Structure 1
Amino acid sequence: MLQLIDRDRLPGQPAITPAGLSHALRAGEGLESAGCDVLVSADDAVLGAVSYAVPKSDSVGVLLWLHCLEDEQSLAQMLVDHTLTELGRRTVHAYAVPTAMAPAGLPMRNRPGTRRALEACGFSGTDRWRYLHHSLDTLSPRVYAVADLIEHAGGGWQLFLRERGGIRIGEACISAPIGGAAVLEWVTLAPERRRLGHILLEQCLTKLADRGIDHVTTCLHAPDFDNPHYEAALHLHEAAGFTVADQLHTYVRCP
């Protein structure tokens, strides 16, 4: 199973470990775990696996994650059909909840077999996020620092951008790293200082590289009428060295 999951990793995502898989099998906040079922061949080879859950309200079902050979759509379809049978007659959301293995959303480019299987089973997708990746070995750091990095007790960092007088004008939050990879959770700047966003990102990446981080990923909300700042945010991240690795869609199926 670990090999199947590893094949589906996006750039910058750490390899899944037995401990990480165990954590991913636990029910998330507000969820009661319904199960993780494995599809095996006649000779007991693992062909795929799916994890699903039911919220404590028992009103909907959730397909948390599914992994199989992507070039075998029939395998993904068997796992989706099985999940729908187990969850019963209720609305089912797929890839709508982040797990210990990945952010919410099914990668469109990387998971075509699973995408087609969901659609064949009646699921409708919604474009939610852009998954961005930065390999820090391409970094050209600034020679001076204008930001303070504060480490959290449980891991991860908060970075504060300051003016020469010491006034903080920007902030970034970075997750605790796993296997040399970290997630840039969010970036914010004072409205009148948004033109300095590139400096905040550069400082953030430089300080992470100094601490042995090899890869940084982040997710931007997909462009839509409610998100007029998407193009500016994308340009800011691309100028700092991020590239769009995939599009993440969530799915829903009504009974």
Structure 2
Amino acid sequence: MTVTSVGTGVWVRRFSGGDRAAVLELVHADLLPGRPAVTPAVLEEALHAGMGPEAGGCEVLVSAGGTILGVVSYAVHAQDNTGMLRWLHCAEDEQHLADMLITHTLARLGRRTVHAYAEPTALGPAGLPVRNRPGTRRALETRGFSATDHARYLHHRLDTLSPRLYGIADLVQHPYGGWHLYLRERDGTRIGEARISAPVDGTVVLEWLTLAPKCQHLGHALLGKCLVNLADRGIVHVTTCLDAPDDRPDQEAALHLHEAAGFTVIDQLHTYTRCP
């Protein structure tokens, strides 16, 4: 196994099966509220999804005593030959650990444009949660990465939700997993619909919500009915990601709609790019 020194008494080497428990501990330390626990199967998906054996890899940062200090997954995008820092985890109060992993990854990827946290993975949505991951954020910026896109991560607990009655709601299984919720008037007129991910350990992601053009004022009703239906089916946590404001009234309206329904903004998700 190839081992690369990245500092005094610190090495980077390829991830191996014996590292799984330590890596899962690092990943769990960074979980945002509303995210389900990461199982070994989910970790395997995050390790291998979308990359061939030559396209990238996963490496761990190891101390002289054999302790796993950090982990990074990277790849080369097949379509445009750009580098992808897919995900990275280490102790956030130890910025130098993130810095060593990022520096090593840049050397592995060579002279090319590199995007960081630009795509969702099995471990979470696209974007680095910058409030909860300040060490990684500072390390990225120190190494020349600039934030290119922003979104908000919102969370809502449903176990204390009170029922709200409005119209008729149909929650149906989607052919590709997850649910579609359709809200109708009692005469059958379609008001709106929402798409919800497949539940995992009592948690779901609200992927999108849309209303008929003449029913924009019923957004609160649709979202409220959606949440009540989820609560009735034993869902405890629901999360969603919204575009950051960028001075667009529709984005601010979407935020106000979700906050009025009980969602809380937990963090800002930033994607990053570094040019060679």
* Same topology, TM > 0.5: yes
Q: Which amino acid aligns with 1:233?
A: A
Deviation per CA, 1:139-195, whole angstroms, max 9, x where unpaired? Answer: 112146621111124431000111121011201000001111100000000121011
Aligned to 2:270: 249
Secondary structure of the residue aligned to 1:229 is helix
Deviation at 1:127, TM superposition (A): 4.1
**Rounded Cα–Cα distance in structure 2 between residues aligned with 1:133 and 1:16:** 18
Q: Which amino acid aligns with 2:81?
A: S
Deviation per CA, 1:71-93, whole angstroms, max 9, x where unpaired? Answer: 00000000000110000000000
Which structure 2 residues correspond to residues 72-221 of structure 1 after superposition, within 5 A? 72-143=94-165, 146-221=168-243
Task: Report sequence identity in percent.
Answer: 69
Secondary structure of the residue aligned to 1:103 is coil
**Rounded Cα–Cα distance in structure 1 between residues aligned with 2:115 and 2:148:** 11
Q: Give the direction of change, closer, same or farther, for the CA distance of 1:192–1:132 in structure 2 (3 Å limit).
A: same
Deviation at 1:43, TM superposition (A): 1.1
Q: Which amino acid aligns with 1:24?
A: A
Deviation at 1:126, TM superposition (A): 2.8
Aligned to 2:4: none
CA contact (8 A) 1:31 1:55 kept: no
Deviation at 1:212, TM superposition (A): 1.2
Aligned to 1:240: 261
**Rounded Cα–Cα distance in structure 1 between residues aligned with 2:32 and 2:64:** 30
Superposition TM-score, scaled by structure 1 size: 0.95
**Rounded Cα–Cα distance in structure 1 between residues aligned with 2:219 and 2:157:** 19
Q: Which of 47, 66, 71 is the aligned partner of 1:44?
A: 66
Q: Give the direction of change, closer, same or farther, for the CA distance of 1:203–1:33 in structure 2 (3 Å limit).
A: farther
Deviation at 1:137, TM superposition (A): 1.7
Aligned to 1:231: 252
CA contact (8 A) 2:131 2:268 kept: yes
**Rounded Cα–Cα distance in structure 2 between residues aligned with 1:222 and 1:192:** 26
Question: Which has the larger displacement, 32-41 or 194-203?
Answer: 32-41
**Rounded Cα–Cα distance in structure 2 between residues aligned with 1:18 and 1:5:** 11
Deviation at 1:108, TM superposition (A): 1.1
Superposition TM-score, scaled by structure 2 size: 0.88
Q: Give the direction of change, closer, same or farther, for the CA distance of 1:31–1:253 in structure 2 (3 Å limit).
A: farther
**Rounded Cα–Cα distance in structure 2 between residues aligned with 1:211 and 1:221:** 28
Secondary structure of the residue aligned to 1:137 is coil
Aligned length: 254
Structure 2 residue ranges without an equivalent (≥5):
1-22
Structure 1 residue ranges without an equivalent (≥5):
none
**Rounded Cα–Cα distance in structure 1 between residues aligned with 2:77 and 2:60:** 22
**Rounded Cα–Cα distance in structure 1 between residues aligned with 2:138 and 2:254:** 30
Deviation at 1:224, TM superposition (A): 1.1
Q: Which amino acid aligns with 2:267?
A: D
Tell me how large the CA RMSD over aligned residues is: 1.7
Question: Which has the larger displacement, 139-148 or 93-102?
Answer: 139-148
Q: Give the direction of change, closer, same or farther, for the CA distance of 1:126–1:165 in structure 2 (3 Å limit).
A: same
**Rounded Cα–Cα distance in structure 2 between residues aligned with 1:13 and 1:88:** 33
**Rounded Cα–Cα distance in structure 1 between residues aligned with 2:56 and 2:223:** 41
Deviation per CA, 1:77-121, whole angstroms, max 9, x where unpaired? Answer: 000001100000000000001000100000011000000000010
